[in-house]
A = this chain, B = another copy of it.
Amino acid sequence: MKTTISKLEKFTNDSAQVDAAAIQPLPNSRKIYLQGSRSDIRVPMREISQSDTATSQGVEKNPPIYVYDTSGPYTDPAASIDIRQGLPPVREQWIDERADTEILSGFSSSYSRERLSDPKLMDMRFHLKRPARRAKSGANVTQMHYARRGIITPEMEFIAIRENQRREQADLNGEGLLTRQHPGQGFGAAIQQWITPEFVRAEVACGRAIIPANINHPEAEPMIIGRNFLVKINANIGNSALGSSIQDEVEKMTWAIRWGGDTVMDLSTGKNIHETREWIIRNSPVPIGTVPIYQALEKVDGRAEELTWEIFRDTLIEQAEQGVDYFTIHAGVRLPFIPMTAKRMTGIVSRGGSIMAKWCLAHHQESFLYTHFEDICEIMKAYDVSFSLGDGLRPGSIYDANDEAQLAELKTLGELTEIAWKHDVQVMIEGPGHVPMQLIKENMDLQLKYCHEAPFYTLGPLTTDIAPGYDHITSAIGAAMIGWYGTAMLCYVTPKEHLGLPDKDDVKDGIIAYKIAAHAADLAKGHPGAQIRDNALSKARFEFRWNDQFNLGLDPDKAREFHDETLPQEGAKLAHFCSMCGPNFCSMKITQDVRDYAAQQGISEAEALQDGMAQKSSEFVDKGGELYSKL
């Protein structure tokens, strides 16, 4: 962060460069692609290879482990990465083939045209040659619209393959390991079957899942958000008036997806919001979300009361034609709910919520987001932008959790969901906030009830207010729980929450904490195959395959660094102990020795222990010294 301000001054198109750290493949990992029914459906996965297990009977092979890969072409050595060119438009052909969009001769937004014609911005602008698209007059280009007409799009097939990876692996490699798969409690009967393209279609058609995929963001690899799929995580990035540059924000995005961000929200509120967003979208293989009211407010110099529907509408179109995949719209902050926040400990803590509250009070009118909701739907369906209905009245403290204001807004979001669905526009619902553990399930259950099972997308929740500097942890607790209870996507919280703008390190810390929460939720829900990675890592740990243990983890670099602090020698990667306990006290080593002893006797360990134990035990003692201390 110390260099932020200087970068802010210096950024130009010429100087733009990819973060070198973001394009190294992860250790012992290889990018592979699974092909679908057509050659341009190429679904990325990360293959992590493992070393062999040496046993007394010879070598046992350990299969490679395949994990969901959000990092896009960046970790593919075969891809040439130039952020001034942007990523290849992998979905362009599919959009084209549907023949329901038209190529625009220029931007429909007056603000976009203004920025494009401003010569002062020439140097910092991303130079996109591809023109924007829009639905043909009268057409609806949402994935939900296709799904409801029974069409399985290439996006849906891509997603089915992507979500199935671990399930396939469970069937192919994991048999023995999965016999103790614990029964989960979160999935319906459907998910216990294969995730088929038809299943994806059906979930999107009924609104239980969304595919955020703007026709102007063809660079994005399709992904799905819904509670019958893997739990996803979002990373918030973006500058503020006090810091960061375009270069910084692109780096945060590539860093976030490297460690597992499924979507990224650009929450910029500082300088050059339009250009910053363009750089991010053109280089992002994951869906990008925004909160358009932030930029609209900048257009009126921060004076909320001067916001108008026209300015907001132009902002929606501006961003939709850039390719934003989902918009947070705080249309549930209605005038009559604002007094409900008066007795709160922390009032309104959502930026968008407070802006709209201010507008409503100044005009003593119902919010224009609410009154123009159907107009907004018309824009959404012309580009396939998904709603992320904002929780402008979310609780900002434990004291305010699940209060009247929060629940009144949640009900309204449910009503708006029905309106959006009437237009076949995709919807997810944003949630808290700060909520103590005993109230989390109530919040989730009410969301499902009020919002007709539209996917829930929650920030945390933070389970206590008393740990500024550690809110990635206070909130990972709540996130894991609400993910288990049914939340489809978890919005990360970084250690800087409440204190400052996150830098790259904070982004990574937030992502890892949330990957933990999302994965813990997948395990608890009983997602088929989720446990494979745990099993593989635990087996590697038990067998002292140190490098495999590092590489199978969420952060191989950190695991290796911690291990090497005390045992840096490469030979220690083969040692049957670590500095935590030392050789004599390593329980894994002792258990291993017991197993090896049994194997040497040519019998199973259980037999060794149960049959003829007395006789075996005397042999055991005879050979004991050697068996236990030198193996």
Chain A interface residues (CB < 8 Å from chain B): 1-2, 4, 177, 180, 182-185, 240-243, 269-270, 294, 297-298, 302-305, 338-339, 341-343, 345-351, 353-355, 357-358, 361-364, 396-403, 434, 436-439, 463-470, 472-474, 476-477, 480-481, 484, 495-501, 503, 512-513, 515-517, 519-521, 523-526, 531, 533-535, 537-539, 541-542, 549-550, 552-555, 558-559, 561-563, 565-567, 578-588, 590-595, 598, 604-606, 609-610, 613-614, 616-618, 620-621, 624-625, 628-629
Tell me whether B541 and A346 are in contact (CB under 8 A): yes
Residue of B with least CB distance to A475: B516
Residue of B with least CB distance to A403: B180
Q: Which residues of B contact A565 (CB under 8 A)?
A: 1-2, 500, 503
Q: Which residues of B contact A339 (CB under 8 A)?
A: 605-606, 609-610
Tell me whether A585 and B294 are in contact (CB under 8 A): yes
Residue of B with least CB distance to A347: B591
Tell me whether B353 and A303 are in contact (CB under 8 A): no
Tell me whether A242 and B305 are in contact (CB under 8 A): no
Return A179 CB to nearest CB of chain B, in Å. 9
Q: Which residues of B contact A466 (CB under 8 A)?
A: 516, 519, 533-534, 537, 552-554
Return A17 CB to nearest CB of chain B, in Å. 24
Tell me whether A243 and B579 are in contact (CB under 8 A): yes
The 7 closest A-B pairs by CB, nearest first: A347-B591, A241-B582, A397-B538, A364-B617, A302-B584, A354-B587, A437-B524
Q: Which residues of B contact A525 (CB under 8 A)?
A: 438
Q: Which residues of B contact A397 (CB under 8 A)?
A: 534-535, 538, 541-542
Tell me whether A345 and B539 are in contact (CB under 8 A): yes
Task: Given A397-B534, A477-B520, answer yes or no on A269-B364 (Cβ-Cβ < 8 Å).
Answer: no
Tell me whether B531 and A399 are in contact (CB under 8 A): yes
Given A347-B594, A351-B586, 5 more A-B residue pairs with CB atoms under 8 Å apart are: A182-B436, A182-B438, A269-B585, A346-B542, A364-B617
Tell me whether A520 and B341 are in contact (CB under 8 A): no
Complex: how many Å from CA A585 to CA B296? 12
Residue of B with least CB distance to A497: B580
Task: Given A362-B617, A401-B182, answer yes or no on A342-B559 (Cβ-Cβ < 8 Å).
Answer: no
Supply 19 A–B pairs (Cβ within 8 Å), ascending by A.
Answer: A1-B565, A2-B565, A182-B439, A303-B628, A346-B538, A347-B595, A351-B585, A355-B585, A355-B587, A397-B535, A397-B542, A398-B538, A436-B520, A437-B523, A463-B520, A469-B562, A472-B473, A474-B516, A501-B580
- Of the candidates B341, B500, B598, the one whose C-beta lies within 8 Å of that of A563 is B500
Return A432 CB to nearest CB of chain B, in Å. 13
Tell me whether B364 and A467 are in contact (CB under 8 A): no
Most buried by B among A184, A587, A604: A587
Q: Which residues of B contact A618 (CB under 8 A)?
A: 364
Tell me whether B437 and A470 are in contact (CB under 8 A): no
- Of the candidates B177, B342, B398, the one whose C-beta lies within 8 Å of that of A609 is B342
Q: Which residues of B contact A625 (CB under 8 A)?
A: 303
Q: Which residues of B contact A621 (CB under 8 A)?
A: 305, 362-363
Return A193 CB to nearest CB of chain B, in Å. 21
